[in-house]
């Protein structure tokens, strides 16, 4: 993380840039994670900073800008933006300071992501469930070789696998949503959330791809919603924790080890 927040009288001064911020340039409230530096520039860990803006009225605090929007493959109704901070001042009262202090702050703040992971996995599962319903309809409606294509065993097996993947995703996501993190935290269990999001997002890619296959050329065209679902669902193995990072998380929980993700001796510069 290269965005920094340096302590000054009455607050912190933020400098840096964030890419791929969902709702950026539209949201009124932003929670910004930054590497915290004390007055001397010494690294204190990671903290959260709340920024209020009012994009509808064109009101952005001094030092905050949204220089560009990201162009995307899918999820085109969901704005993604670049946020820039140039000596942006945030008052002390808008600092989210984890009880464990900034040094352990990142681990605490990351707990919030467990809910987000369950949410993202659920959206992916929802898209897959939608594609499954469309596939069921098409298997009955479309006729080839004098019969509905749903009578071909090759496609029936595909459908059964799609349904099983959606069902397994739903169960894992429900389990994670009902769980609690360490010390009775209100956020879901870290391992259950990672496992559910990893599984559901990858299962959704396969389910939607198989639905497209069942639709043949019509699946590839934009008259049916499958083509859009195919583009939309691709995001979910990336945003909110990539499938690789989630696997690292799951394996780390299973083995009871934590693999450091930073180089020894790394220090942020103001
Ligand atoms: C649509 C969308 C919305 C997003 N919204 C937000 C948002 O609102 N807020 C926000 O902060 N971010 C957001 N993101 C960013 C998202 O969190 C990151 O894209 C994601 O964490 C991956 O980081 P990266 O793109 O820099 O990939 P990189 O970290 O550069 O990874 C590249 C590849 O290397 C793999 N990789 C990296 N490190 C490891 C490792 N240690 N072990 C194994 N494989 C590894 C990754 O899995 C990936 O396949 C969004 C992204 C997208 C696409």
Q: Tens-of-pLDDT digits for all 270 residues of the chain?
A: 899 999 999 999 999 999 999 999 899 999 999 999 999 999 999 999 999 988 777 777 999 999 999 999 999 999 999 999 999 999 999 999 777 788 877 777 788 889 999 999 999 999 999 999 999 999 999 999 999 999 999 999 999 999 999 999 999 999 999 999 877 788 999 999 999 999 999 999 999 999 999 999 999 999 999 999 999 999 999 999 999 999 999 999 999 987 666 666 555 554
How many angstroms is it from 52 CA to the middle of ligand 1? 25
Closest by alpha carbon to 33, among 60, 51, 58? 51
| Cβ–Cβ < 8 Å for 124, 243 | no
Q: Which of 1, 24, 245 best tests ligand 1's pocket when mutated (most atoms within 8 Å of CB)?
A: 245
| Interacting residues of 47 by C-beta distance below 8 A, sequence separation 6+ | 5, 33, 34, 36, 95, 96, 97, 98, 102, 105, 109
Q: Is any ligand 1 atom within 6 A of the Cβ of residue 80?
A: yes
Query: How far is the centre of ligand 1, averaged over its atoms, from the C-alpha of 233 (Å)?
Result: 15
* Integer angstrom CA distances of residue 197 from 6, 152, 241, 258, 260: 35, 32, 9, 19, 22
Tokens of 225: 């919603």
Taking the centre of ligand 1 as the mean of its atom positions, its distance from the CA of residue 186, in whole angstroms, is 25
Neighbouring CB atoms inside 10 A of 262's CB total 7
Q: Is 198 in the pocket of ligand 1 (CB under 6 A)?
A: no
Ligand 1 in contact with 203 (CB < 6 A)?
no
Phi/psi region, residue 94 (left: phi>0; alpha: psi -120 to 50; beta: rest), is alpha
SS3 95: strand
C-beta of 17 in contact with ligand 1 (< 6 A): no
CB 115 near ligand 1, within 6 Å: no
Phi-psi region of 158 (alpha: psi -120 to 50; beta: other; left: phi over 0): alpha
């Amino acid at each position: 993380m290269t965005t920094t927040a340096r302590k000054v009288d009455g607050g912190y001064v933020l400098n840096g840039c964030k890419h791929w911020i969902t709702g950026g340039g539209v949201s009124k409230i932003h929670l910004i994670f930054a590497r915290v530096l004390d007055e001397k520039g010494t690294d204190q860990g990671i903290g959260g900073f709340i920024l209020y803006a009012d994009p509808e009225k064109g009101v952005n605090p001094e030092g905050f800008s949204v220089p560009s929007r990201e162009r995307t493959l899918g999820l085109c109704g969901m704005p993604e933006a670049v946020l820039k901070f140039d000596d942006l001042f945030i008052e002390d009262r808008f600092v989210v300071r984890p009880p464990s202090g900034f040094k352990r702050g990142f681990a605490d703040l990351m707990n919030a992501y467990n809910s987000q992971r369950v949410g993202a996995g659920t959206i992916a599962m929802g898209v897959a469930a939608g594609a499954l319903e469309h596939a069921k309809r098409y298997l009955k409606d479309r006729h080839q070789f004098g019969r509905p294509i749903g009578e071909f065993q090759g496609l029936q097996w595909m459908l059964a696998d799609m349904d099983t993947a959606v069902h397994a995703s739903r169960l894992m996501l429900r389990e994670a949503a009902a769980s609690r993190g360490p010390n009775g935290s209100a956020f879901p269990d870290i391992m259950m959330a990672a496992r559910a999001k990893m599984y559901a997002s990858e299962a959704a890619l396969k389910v939607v791809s198989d639905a497209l296959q069942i639709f043949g050329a019509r699946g590839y065209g934009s008259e049916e919603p499958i083509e859009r679902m195919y583009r939309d669902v691709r995001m979910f193995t990336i945003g909110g924790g990539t499938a690789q990072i989630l696997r690292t998380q799951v394996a780390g929980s299973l083995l009871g080890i934590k693999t450091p993700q930073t180089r020894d001796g790394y220090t942020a510069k103001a």
